[in-house]
């Protein structure tokens, strides 16, 4: 690392890994419940487990993005973070709000809106937290010597993500209107501004790892940002097909969302092209694996599996089934889980001065987690298609169908065990690196 203040990133990564571990625990609770072993039902009913699982996901990813931004911005701007103490306060308050929200869910303190379950009073604390974070990043950029395209795209993604949180906080008495604006948060995050965050981090990693000229890499970044906006904004329409909005959304949503995979294809081609063009001398092969991996798996999980159910004629049948969960898992993992893993793999040797990359554990972590997640995706997919046929086409009752597909969750839990083993190995390596230290500062 080049700047002392970059060390703060480590603590955000630590929080991220902790919350991921908890997320996986709740994933298993649901996996077993789907198999018919819902023994924890009295204490943690399925809907609570689900909300905790998905909210933990969002918070560990945000914590990872924030850590990455605290690492990248000082280096790109060539300036120490303006106020490190405030960044630590922001970290602790982020953890506190997250924990209070998660505990609250167990006592019915929540809103029943998928992904946006956090109650409004806590929303305001999130707003203050994110404003503090953005203030620190923007001030550092403002005072810094340089404003690179990479740092601006990353910052733009973070600022827009914060702004887009607000429509989800407005109160509506009408369910269709509420749902309409809920998608401004959920869809425009993952299929819009988070892609900019991913693109920014990906560009940074490719510059550092492949050694290809910044000018070349940043040119690609413009194309990706363009493709994301052209397709993603009106692509929101793929959530408006059957929720009570006008019929024109069937056409608009269908056409524009079908173009969304292009942005992910762009990212995959970008990463592969830069890898082939680069010198391939960078020693941190694990970081390279994760970087290429995120670009490719996100194209499959978000691009291809998104496309699979995005047309109105298909979505009519698959909406809200396990087909959605199939896509949700590989998309979130490939695009945002893996980019966080890539960044941590790249940053840890620089933060600690210990060159523990290229270990057997690190390789196993990569392959086990990815093969495990791919297996989970297949299990969800098979269960989902079976569900669609029985429930939506044959008209069988929901509960009876859920019993019929229990067997697929045995496969799911086996694959999830493989996935979790990979993640545990990754976290074991993370812990082995130890804490960041001043000796790691590059002269
Ligand atoms: C990294 C990017 C993406 C992530 C993380 C992601 C994740 C998700 C998640 C979690 C849901 C469920 C949301 C909810 O019901 O509240 C969902 C729904 C959906 N996604 Fe994606 N997605 C991504 C990209 C895409 C793309 C590119 C497409 C289309 C090409 C797509 C098509 C869909 C569709 C059609 C639904 C609605 C499913 C339903 O009606 O139940 N997604 N996505
Ligand atoms: C041990 C690992 C995991 C297991 C066993 C697991 C299992 C599950 C189950 C059973 C559901 C509920 C599906 C339903 O509504 O019936 C779920 C939902 C979800 N999980 Fe996981 N999960 C795991 C890890 C992950 C990871 C690592 C991610 C993201 C990177 C993730 C993202 C999601 C998302 C986005 C949803 C909501 C999907 C939707 O809206 O349909 N899960 N998970
Ligand atoms: Fe969407």
- pLDDT-derived band at 318 (thresholds 50, 70, 90) equals very high
The pLDDT, as a whole number, for residue 279 is: 79
Q: The domain containing residue 119 runs over which residues?
A: 1-147
- Res. 133: pLDDT tops 80: yes
**Is the C-beta atom of 325 inside 6 A of ligand 2?**
yes
Distance 328 CA to ligand 1 centre (A): 6
Angle at the Cα of 109 (from 42 to 402), degrees rounded to 5? Answer: 45
Look at residue 194 and give its three-state secondary structure.
Answer: helix
State the distance from the centre of ligand 2 to the C-alpha of 328, rounded, in angstroms.
Answer: 7
Q: Give burial (CB, 10 Å; 0-12/13-18/19+) of 29.
A: buried
Whether ligand 1 lies within 6 angstroms of the CB of 187 is answered as no
Report pTM.
0.98
Do residues 228 and 243 lie in contact, with contact meaning Cβ atoms separated by under 8 Å?
A: no
Nearest Cα neighbor of 190 from 86, 331, 395, 382 is 331
Contact assessment for residue 95 and residue 60, using Cβ atoms and an 8 Å cutoff? no
In a domain, 128, yes or no: yes
The response to whether residue 260 sits with its C-beta less than 6 Å from ligand 1 reads yes
Q: Which atom of ligand 2 is nearest to the CA of 333?
A: 30
Number of domains in the chain: 1
Measured distance CA(65)–CA(135) in Å, rounded: 15
Give tens-digit pLDDT for 198-225.
999 999 999 999 999 999 999 999 999 9
Q: Is 192 in the pocket of ligand 2 (CB under 6 A)?
A: no
Q: For residue 69, is it within any domain?
A: yes
Determine, yes or no, domain membership for 266: no
Q: What residue owns the CA closest to ligand 1's atom 26?
A: 306
Average pLDDT over residues 400-411: 98
Q: What would the pLDDT profile of 233-290 be if each residue is shown by its tens digit?
A: 999 999 999 999 999 999 999 999 999 999 999 999 999 999 999 977 789 999 999 9
Q: How far is the CA of 149 from the centre of ligand 2 (A)?
A: 34
442 has a pLDDT exceeding 90: no
71 occurs within a structural domain: yes
- Is residue 297 domain-resident? no
Determine, yes or no, domain membership for 284: no
Mean pLDDT value across residues 105-134? 95
- Which DSSP string corresponds to 208-270? HHH---HHHHHHHHHHHHHHHHHHHHHHGGGGSTTTTS-THHHHHHHHHHHHTHHHHHHHHHH
- Cβ(303) – ligand 1 distance below 6 Å: yes
Quick check: is 203 in a domain?
A: no
- 57 inside domain: yes
- Of the pLDDT bands very low, low, confident and very high (cuts 50, 70, 90), residue 443 is low
Dump strand ranges (E) for 154-236.
none
Predicted pLDDT at 282: 86
């Amino acid at each position: 690392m080049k700047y002392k203040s970059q060390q703060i990133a480590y603590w955000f990564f630590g929080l991220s890994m902790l919350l991921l571990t908890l997320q996986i625990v709740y994933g298993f609770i649901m996996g077993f419940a789907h198999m018919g072993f819902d023994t924890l039902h009295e204490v943690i009913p399925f809907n609570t487990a689900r909300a905790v699982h998905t909210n933990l996901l969002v918070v560990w990813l945000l914590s990872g993005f924030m850590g990455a931004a605290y690492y990248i911005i000082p280096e790109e701007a060539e300036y120490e973070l303006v106020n490190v103490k405030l960044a630590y306060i922001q970290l602790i308050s982020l953890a506190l709000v997250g924990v209070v929200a998660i505990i609250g869910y167990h006592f019915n303190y929540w809103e029943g809106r998928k992904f946006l379950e956090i109650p409004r009073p806590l929303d305001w604390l999130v707003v203050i937290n994110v404003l503090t974070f953005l203030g620190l990043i923007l001030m550092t950029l403002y005072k810094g010597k340089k404003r690179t395209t990479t740092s601006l795209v990353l910052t733009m993604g973070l600022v827009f993500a914060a702004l887009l949180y607000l429509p989800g906080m407005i109160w509506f008495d009408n369910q269709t209107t509420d749902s309409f604006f809920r998608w401004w948060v959920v869809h425009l995050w993952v299929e819009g501004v988070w892609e900019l965050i991913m693109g920014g981090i990906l560009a940074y990693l490719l510059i550092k790892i492949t050694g290809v000229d910044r000018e070349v890499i940043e040119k690609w970044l413009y194309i990706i940002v363009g493709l994301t906006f052209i397709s993603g904004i009106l692509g929101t329409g793929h959530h408006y097909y059957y929720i009570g909005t006008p019929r024109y959304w069937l056409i608009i949503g269908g056409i524009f969302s079908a173009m969304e995979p292009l942005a992910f294809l762009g990212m995959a081609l970008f990463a592969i092209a830069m890898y082939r063009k680069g010198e391939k001398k960078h020693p941190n092969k694990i970081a390279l694996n994760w970087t290429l991996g995120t670009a490719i798996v996100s194209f499959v999980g978000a691009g291809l599996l998104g496309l699979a159910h995005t047309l109105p004629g298909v979505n009519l049948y698959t909406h809200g089934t396990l087909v959605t969960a199939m896509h949700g898992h590989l998309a979130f993992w490939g695009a945002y889980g893996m980019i966080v893993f890539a960044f941590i793999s790249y940053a840890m040797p620089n933060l600690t001065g210990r060159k523990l990359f290229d270990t057997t554990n690190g390789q196993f972590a990569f392959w086990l987690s990815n093969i495990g997640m791919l297996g989970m995706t297949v299990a969800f997919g098979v269960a989902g298609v079976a569900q669609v046929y029985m429930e939506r086409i044959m008209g069988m009752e929901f509960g009876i169908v859920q019993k019929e597909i229990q067997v697929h969750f045995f496969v799911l839990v086996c694959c999830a065990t493989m996935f979790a083993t990979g993640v545990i190995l990754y976290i074991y390596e993370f812990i082995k690196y130890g804490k960041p230290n001043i000796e790691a500062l590059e002269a």
